[in-house]
Amino acid sequence: MALHVMDEAARCLGCKKPMCQKGCPINTPIPEVIKLLKEHKLDEAGWMLFENNPLTTVCSLICNHENQCEGHCVLGKKGAPVHFSVIEQYISSTYASKMVKGPAPSNGKKVAIVGSGPAGLTIAILMARYGYQVTIFESKDQIGGILRYGIPEFRLPKSVLDDIQYRHLEMKGIRIRPNTRIGDAIGVDELFRDGYKAIFIGTGVWKANTLGIKGESFGNVHYAINYLNNPSVYKLGERVIVIGAGNAAMDVARTALRNGSRNVTCFSLTKKITASEYEYSYAKLEGVEFEYNKKPIEITDDGVIFRDVIENEDGTLTEVEGSDKLYPMDSTVISISQGPLNVIVTTTTGLEANKRGLLVADEKGRTSRPGIFASGDVVQGARTVIEAVAHSKVVAEAMHEYIQSLPE
């Protein structure tokens, strides 16, 4: 592994204007990190990665590298780009075990983090670096949000999240209240009452979007966000239809194969697969089949009826009448993205949401109610992990400035 990583690092040209860094949503200083590694300064390289991105061990595994850092590498124009994902994963995972620094000196001020997905974890870690007393309120039994309950083990091992909890949360003095959903017994008003100076909401999007077609309530029909939460409790059978073509759909299909299904087919409304090329290619390699230009019309006990659609030059779709066909299945998993649960919005006065139920916040994460900040999927809808981390860095700074402006 180390030899391969060093070989890959040696290919880096050290560009004065690094396009790889420009292609990274969080602006990772890629040439500097690689330079330090080649100088055998692994600890310094690891420190630089974690300072820039607290979730670097996660992002090294699940980022859409082919469209970001690696997709912008100048070497990729005529050949293979420098695979920074491999370099980052090696450095971050090796250096992570050396992180033994305790919490920063406390400034005596409390901050509440609602939700421990990518955005919540980032905010919690950054606010702890400022010296705030941070408490994370997590509705599930373990931290991680979509990272733990929405991404399969084969893509993101749970041990990575466990290490983040130990190295970044517990050692930094961050407290965690699991199985606590804000908006039930405890609400936002109670948090302010108890002295929290600012509240961050990063509850993600956990409400599955529906097709709105007949048969969607049948017992052998499931939603991707629910299935990926705990795949082992589902008995999908031999033949599985996955409706959708994003990364979550690829995760569902590949997980179903690993759990005993033998015939898994993803159905896409268009010819374009919205999943990353890597995830799409892995799915095909593992035996997932694909059907394109198919619109689900009805779900029956025996299968799903799809209708052919034609993609027009202006981007619209035309349904082909008389083309309806039943595709047999044992189970169907619907994977057409998610929306937010509205518990906090409905129980908190002065907190504005848009028509989709997403929290309304400005570019610095400030919501309609002073002292409450938000970022991640609950604001922008389902996005990538790295986008959530990058925006949360801006929000953390805004929260710090807000708290510092409050009268003592």
SS3 319: strand
Distance CA 392, CA 131 (A): 17
SS3 249: helix
Closest Cα partner for 406 from 132, 171, 155? 132
User: What digits encode the pLDDT tens for the residues 139-159?
Assistant: 999 999 999 999 999 999 999
Distance CA 17, CA 74 (A): 10
Q: Is 325 left (phi over 0), alpha (psi -120 to 50) or beta?
A: beta
User: Cβ–Cβ contacts within 10 Å for residue 100, how many?
Assistant: 7
Angle at 54 between CA 128 and CA 141, to 5 degrees: 75
Secondary structure string (H, E, C) spanning 97-148: CCCCCCCCCCCCCEEEEECCCHHHHHHHHHHHHHCCEEEEECCCCCCCCHHH
For the domain made up of 210-336, the CATH class stated in words is alpha beta
User: Cβ–Cβ contacts within 10 Å for residue 282, how many?
Assistant: 17
pLDDT value at residue 59:
96
Q: Which residues pair with 353 in a beta bridge?
A: 359
> Does residue 164 contact residue 337 with C-beta atoms inside 8 Å?
no
Question: Which pTM was predicted?
Answer: 0.92
Q: Find tokens 């008003």 and name the residue.
A: 189
Q: Is 360 left (phi over 0), alpha (psi -120 to 50) or beta?
A: beta
- In the chain, CATH 3.50.50.60 covers 110-206+339-405, 210-336
User: What digits encode the pLDDT tens for the residues 89-125?
Assistant: 999 999 988 876 677 899 999 999 999 999 999 999 9
- In the chain, CATH 1.10.1060.10 covers 2-96
Write out residues in the chain with pLDDT < 50, as ranges: none
> Does residue 338 contact residue 207 with C-beta atoms inside 8 Å?
yes
Alpha-carbon torsion 395, 397, 403, 405, what sign?
Answer: negative
Domain 2-96 has CATH 2.60.98.20: no
Q: Which residues pair with 28 in a beta bridge?
A: none
Strand 175-177 relative to strand 133-137, pairing = parallel
User: What digits encode the pLDDT tens for the residues 374-385?
Assistant: 998 888 877 889
> Does residue 68 contact residue 24 with C-beta atoms inside 8 Å?
yes
Output DSSP code: residue 170. I
Cα torsion 271, 272, 273, 276 to 10°: value is 150
SS3 310: strand
Distance CA 145, CA 369 (A): 24
For the domain made up of 110-206+339-405, the CATH class stated in words is alpha beta
